[in-house]
Every structure is written in structure tokens, then in C-alpha cells.
Structure 1
Amino acid sequence: MSEPRDTGTGPDERWITPGVVSIGAASFFSDSGHEIATSVMPAFLTSVLGGSAAALGVIEGISDALTGVTKVVGGPLANDPARRRSLATGGYIVTAVATAAIGLATAVWQVGVLRAFAWAARGIRSPARDSLLGSLANPNAYGKSFGIERAGDNLGAVVGPLLAAGLVAWVGIRPAIWFAFIPGILAAVAIIVAAREAKRRLGDQTKERVRLNIAGLRSAGLGRPLLPILLFECGNLATTMLILRSTDQLTALGFASAASLAILFYAGHNAIAAAISFIGGVWLDRAGPRIVFAAGAAAYVLGYAAFSVPGVGWALLLLGFILAGAGIGLAETAESALVARALPDRVRGTGFGVLGGVQAIGNIVGTVVAGILYTTLSPTAAFIYAAAWMLLSFAASAFFTNPSSERTP
């Protein structure tokens, strides 16, 4: 039975509780489920439904944009403790159902609608989940707690594609997508466990008015850290760019071998991110979020340098994936823990929503420009461009703190 929350958080207070573990499990199962669908969807859209690569790009672009928008919208809604529990639970259920339903689609537009619906639910649940974790975690161990959540998410990105490969070989492309429902529902069950613990520990608090409350974020000092975060996210390229670069560099092995090796590197990237998320969380609780974030940006600079070198072998490409995995594991954990530490519970949902919006804007800008540079100039130019953003983020990491970030809320 979980202990009542002690806002004094003495050194003997447990940080690993059923609620924290359940949220990590929810991220693991949910990511495993939608990675099954994501891995299979290109083949399903083009081979089964006769769609085009352009249609796939439009669907993914619109869905990613919706995720960013709904994170901003969901932030103020998650400020209310009762509403955040409902949003988190409902968001995971809708994501599971809509993702698995893609396997029932008979036309490309249906895939687009279902993917957008699933990604919108995924976006609106994120601030609620992170606020839920912030309310359950020991404030002296935010780093480890958010490291557990990030580790679960990244481990799901390892397991999901591997499950997809086995399912396609066993049952075929369309039925493989249906199986995404199973881990998706397990994620919903896990978040329900966390929501019940939050209700038991915190009770039914006064209902918060729905408002963006940017002034509250500024007064807590969250404005300054958004600069290095935005710079970082502008350099945080979609991992498909890394896979494409590796496939191009390894074509001497034959296209099939090059593609398979690149996917294995991607799985390794996610495994490293999972391990480093927790290690970075432990480091964060001891040293603060600024140094962990700066280390993440520095790892990306080195990783992109490896990808920018033309004609390299598999070893340097693998090193690039490892460094990028370490970079995302450190930086994402630092970003989430910073918001949790800086903000009181009544505006924490807004903080996570704004963080999600900044991440989405940066990711879209960075990947679109890098893709244009990759095509029109050279892959080297694209990765130098991304590395420059990361270098700026590293330099701006001095702003990755605020008066509230070194104390517990």
C-alpha cells in the first residue's frame, strides 16, 4: 500500500512506488503498440491500399502537427487533478483503439483520419500523464521518476518494431496492426492504476479553472529554459533521417542488407536512450537538470558529426546512433524534470503542454529544413545544420535553470 505523500520529502521516503512504475509501464506498452502500427503502416499504405509515399508523408506530417497542438490544449486541462486522471486514462484508451483500427481501413483517407485521431489523443494525454507523474513522484527524485517514464517509452520503441517484424511474418500486414490493440490496452490499465494511486494519495482537490496561465509560468521562471529547449528541438531530427543516412552510406552491402542494418542501429539507438534516460535521471537528482541537458546537446553534436562524414563505415554510423540515443535520453529527461521541479501542481499541466508545443514546433522546423538540405545540397549539409542548432543549445544551456528549479515545489 502506497504511503501518503509527504511534501517535506525526507531522505528515507520511497521514490519507486506503484504509481511511478505504472506510468513507466504505460509508456512502455503504449509505445510498443503504436510502434507496431508505425513500423507496418508504410507497407500497408503502399502495398495493401495502393497509396503513395507522398500520402504517407502528408498523413504523418498532419498527425505530428496535431500532437503538438493537442499537447498545448491539453496542458491547461491537466491542471485540474480529477480531469488529468480522466484525460490520461481516456487518451490511452482512444490511442489504442484508433491505432489498431488502422488495420481495418480500406482506403488511404481512412488511415489518415484514424492516425490523426490516435495522435491527437496521444498529444492531449501527454501533459495529463506527466502532471500525474509529477504529483506522484518524490520531488527529491523527479529525475529518476521521469527517467523511468522515458526509459519505458524508449524500450517500447525497441520492442514494437521487433514485434511488428515477427507479426508480419506470422499473420501478415493487416492483422499485425490489429495486434497493436493488446499493448495499447495494457497501457490503459497501467495508467488507471496510477490514476487510482493519485486519487488515494491526493484526494479530490479543488477544481482548477481551465486557463493557459502563461503569467504563472513566467513567474516560476520557466520562460528562460524554453530558449535552449527550442534550440535543441530545432536540431532534434526525426530518427528516419538517421536511418536514411545509414542506408545510403551502406548501399555497398546491397539495399536489403543496408536497410536491415540501419533498422538494427535504430533499435540500438532506442535501447541506449532507454538506459541513459534512467542514468541521466539519477545524475539529475544529484547535479540538477542543467548539466544533464547540456550533456545531451553535446552528445548530439558529436553524433551528428559522425553522420556528416561522407563514405564512412558501419562502425562510425553505429557510434552516431549511440550518441544520438544518449542525447535524447539525457535531454528529454532533463526537460520533463525541469518542468516538474519548477512549477506547482496547479499550473504543471500548462507547463507540460507548453513544453510539448515547443518540442513539436522545433521538431517540425528542424526536420523539414534538414530534409530540404539533404535533398538539394548534401546529407553533410543537413547534419551540419542540425549540429549547429545543438551547439547553440549547448551554449544556451546556462539558461536551463530558474529560481525554482533548484528547490522542490
Structure 2
Amino acid sequence: MNRAMKFILLMGLVSLFGDITYEGARSIVGPYLATFGLTAAAIGLITGFGEFAGYGLRLLSGYIADRTGNYWLLTFLGYSLILAIPLLAFANYWWIAALLIVAERLGKAIRTPARDAMLSFATKQVGRGTGFGIHEAMDQVGAVIGPLIVFSALAGYTFKEAFIALFLPALLVILFLFATWKLYPTPQRFEIEEQESRVEGSFWLYSLFVFLSVAGFLSFPLLSYHLAGYVDLKLIPLLYALAMGIDAISALISGRCYDRIGLKTLMLVPLLTPLILLALHPSIIGVLVGVAAWGAVMGMHEAITRAAVADLTGVKKRSTAYGVFNTVFGVAMLAGGAVLGYLYDISAALLVGFVLVVEVAAFATLLMLGRT
């Protein structure tokens, strides 16, 4: 096993334990905040602001990473804020809990562009798609384990004990990150720039594709809201776990395909996204196919869309590019989610029509990108 692959696996372990921590917490944040007497609107505002900060600030942190070259400093700073999660066990007031929740999301904004840039350097040697696919698969293993740990803790204890149970994985995040830094202090050496800005002119067209494809991507919270109308509530977490498992498999398979045929693999994203709408049909087959499609598309977004950013930008602007990519992704989730939620309340036909229009536009944008 070469050094680049070892680096990717170690960073995968960092993300695995990170996902155990914050995905475990995210599974109970809503009812936890409700224990302080907060309304649904207040809970939505707190978590929504956290998500906005978690995406919006990535543009700035990516720019700083490229300007300073301190990839590890920003990565450490971002991951250190994950300790805010177990500290929720000791929050006595709602505003303290809100600050801790937002702080963890800010940490994700700080670390993600720098971390993805370092991963992109290593994936140059093992294959962009393969490297990011492995990282995403390990990430999703944590996304499944985290909620299960919290579920087990709540079976016999309270929210406080559930958050305390997440202290160990949070600590392991820091320990594995420190070990990786000691072994690979300069991961940018994995990739030597061959031709700066060789295809960066296509990056903005690619960003448009990302925006359109994500705008038509039905979020799982909205999907689960619909499923709650005719599916046993106890089964919805299992459906989410199924989606996460398919996400991991999809990331690995699509990553390998990306390394063989390149950007053409991205055509699967707008082609499969409309299949998610089948979950809106009140039938077992429709739900299973829709949820499976959701997991498959999410795995592609997390693996091959990230891999493409590295191939479309030079080394010196890599973190900035990931900052832009993540910001576009976040804005598309916000705008698309708002539109899809609004259309859901009005007409299912309009919702389906919107998804089809933006995904066709995304496919057309990808064809234009191929020509450039």
C-alpha cells in the first residue's frame, strides 16, 4: 500500500469518528432542543443558521487555506470544534446549547476546504474517484454507527448520557488527526502541479451543473416528512440507514467509474435524481426504489463531484475551489429545499415538473462542459 492510500485511509478514519459524533447528535438535536421549551420555529432557526454557517463560510476558509498554505492548522481548528457535541450534555440553558450546535457547524466550515484539498493531493496518485469514494464510504460508516449509539444510549438513559457517549469518538477524531499530521506533515507533496489553471475556465460551468443538480435533489428531511404520513415512524430511521449504506456503496462504485471515464460518470446524477420522486408514491416498491436512489445520488455527490473539482483546478487554488464548490452546494440545498418544500404544499405535479426541468438543465450543462 503506497503512502497516498495510507493517508486517505487515515483521513477516512478521522471522518468516520467525526460522523459518529455529529451525525449521532444530529439525530436527536430536534427533540433535545425541545426540552428547553423551544418552538419548532426556534429549533428550525437554530439548526438552519448552523447549516447556513457551515456552508457559507467555506468560501472564506478555503481562500485562507490557499493564501497561507496552513492546511493542517485550519483542519485541526475545524475538527477541534467537534468537541462542542459532547459538551451539550452540560448545557443548562437553550442559548448555550444553540451556541454549541452552531459552533460544531462552524468547525465543519473551517476544516472542509483544507481537508478536501489535502485529500485531492493524495487522490492524484490512487485515482480521484477511487480516493474520494473510499473516503466517503468510511464517512458513511460513521453516519450509520453514530445514530445507533445514540439510540442505544436513549434506550435506558437521558439526552445527557447520550451526548456523553459521543465524547470517545470525538476524542478519537483528534487523536487520529494528530497521528496523520505527524506521519504526513506536507500532503501537498503528493501532487506536483503540471500546468496551473489548465482547465479552470470550465470550473464555473461545472459549478452551474452542481447548483442545478443539487437544486432538484429532494432532501431526506422533506422525504421523511412525507413518509411519516403512511410509513411507521420506527421504520424511517431504518430507511435512512439503508440510504446511508447505499451511499457508501455508490461512492465506491461511481468513484472507480470516474477514474475510467471521467466527467461522463456525472451524467448519472441528473439521470437518477428524478427516481427519488418514486418514494412519494405510497407503495413499498416506490419507497424502496426512491430511498435507494437518494442514497446512490448522495454517494455520487460526495465522491465524484468532489473528485471533479480537483481535476478542474490547479494545486495553488484547490482550497479556494473547494470553498466555492461547497458554498454553491449549500446555496443550492437552501434554494432548492425552499422551492421543493413550497411546491410540495401546493402540487405534487409542480414538484415533479420542477425536478425534471432543473435536472434536464443540469444534464445539458454537463454536455456543454464536455465540449469545453
Give SS of 1:224's match.
helix
Displacement, 1:77? 1.8
Q: Tell whether the 8 Å contact from 2:61 to 2:323 is kept in structure 1 after alignment.
A: yes
| Shift in alpha-carbon separation, 1:315–1:21, aligned structure 2, 3 A | same
In 2, the alpha carbon distance for the partners of 1:39 and 1:199 equals 34
Q: When the two structures are superposed, what TM-score results if normalisation uses the length of structure 1? A: 0.83
Using a 3 Å threshold, how does the CA distance of structure 1 residues 104 and 200 change in structure 2: closer, same or farther? Answer: same
Aligned to 2:85: 99
Distance change in 2, residues 1:308/1:400 (3 Å): farther
CA contact (8 A) 2:279 2:289 kept: no
Q: Return the letter of the residue paired with 1:241.
A: L
Say whether 1:386 aligns with 2:364.
Answer: no
Which residue number in structure 2 is paired with residue 141 of structure 1? Answer: 127
Q: CA deviation at 1:382?
A: 3.4
The TM-score normalised by the length of structure 2 is 0.91
The Cα of 1:118 is off from its aligned counterpart by 0.9
Residue of structure 2 in register with 1:365 after alignment: 335
Partner of 2:20: 32
Change in CA separation of 1:30 and 1:383 when aligned onto 2, cut-off 3 Å: farther
8 Å Cα contact 1:140/1:285 also seen in 2: no
Q: Is the Cα contact below 8 Å between 2:136 and 2:302 reproduced in 1?
A: yes
Q: In the TM superposition, what are the counterparts of 1:2-81 in structure 2 within 5 Å?
A: 3=3, 17-46=5-34, 48-79=35-66
Letter of the 1:340 partner, please give it.
A
Which residue of structure 1 lines up, in the alignment, with residue 317 of structure 2?
Answer: 347
CA deviation profile, 1:105-151 (whole Å, cap 9, x unmatched): 22222222111111011111000110111122234511100111211
Secondary structure of the 2:59 match is: helix
Mind listing any 5+ residue stretches in structure 2 that lack a counterpart?
none
Matching of residue 293 in structure 1 with residue 266 in structure 2: yes
Establish whether residue 121 from structure 1 lines up as the match of residue 107 from structure 2: yes
> Are residues 270 and 126 of structure 1, via their aligned partners in 2, closer, same or farther at CA, if it must alter by over 3 Å?
same
- Is the alpha carbon distance of 1:291 and 1:386 closer, same or farther for their aligned partners in structure 2, counting shifts above 3 Å? same
Separation of aligned partners in 1, 2:300 and 2:212: 15
Q: Is the 8 A contact 1:131 1:349 kept in 2?
A: yes
Contact 2:15/2:142 (<8 A) preserved: yes
Q: Match for residue 194 of structure 1?
A: 180
Q: Is the 8 A contact 1:19 1:193 kept in 2?
A: no
Report the counterpart of residue 407 of structure 1 in structure 2.
Answer: none
Letter in 1 for 2:354: Y
SS at match of 1:163: helix
Aligned positions of 1:389-404 closer than 5 A: 389-401=358-370
1:259-278 superposed Cα distances (whole Å, 9 cap, x missing partner): 11122111101110011101
| 1:321 alignment partner in structure 2 | 291
What is the aligned partner in structure 1 of residue 210 from structure 2? 229
SS where residue 199 of structure 1 aligns?
coil
Segments of 5+ residues of structure 1 without an aligned counterpart are 4-14, 206-214, 251-257, 404-409
Residue in structure 2 matching 1:169, options 129, 149, 155: 155
Q: Distance in 2 between matches of 1:384 and 1:43?
A: 34
Cα 1:325–1:78 change in 2 (3 A) is: same
Percent identity reads 24
Q: Deviations over 1:191-216 (max 9, x none)?
A: 3333334325657x9xxxxxxxxx96
Per mean C-alpha deviation after superposition, the further-off stretch among 58-67 and 394-403 is 394-403
Instruction: After superposing the two structures, state which structure 1 stretch, 273-282 or 394-403, moved more.
Output: 394-403
Verify the 8 A CA contact 2:14 2:177 in the aligned structure 1.
yes
Residues 326-368 of structure 1: CA distance to partner in whole angstroms, max 9, x if unpaired?
1111233121111112222211000000000000100000111
Secondary structure of 1:248's match? coil
Give how far 1:384 is off: 4.3
Rounded Cα–Cα distance in structure 1 between residues aligned with 2:369 and 2:141: 27
How far apart are 1:18 and its partner, in Å? Answer: 1.7
Count of equivalent residues = 368
Q: Distance in 2 between matches of 1:359 and 1:19?
A: 26
Alignment correspondent of 1:184: 170
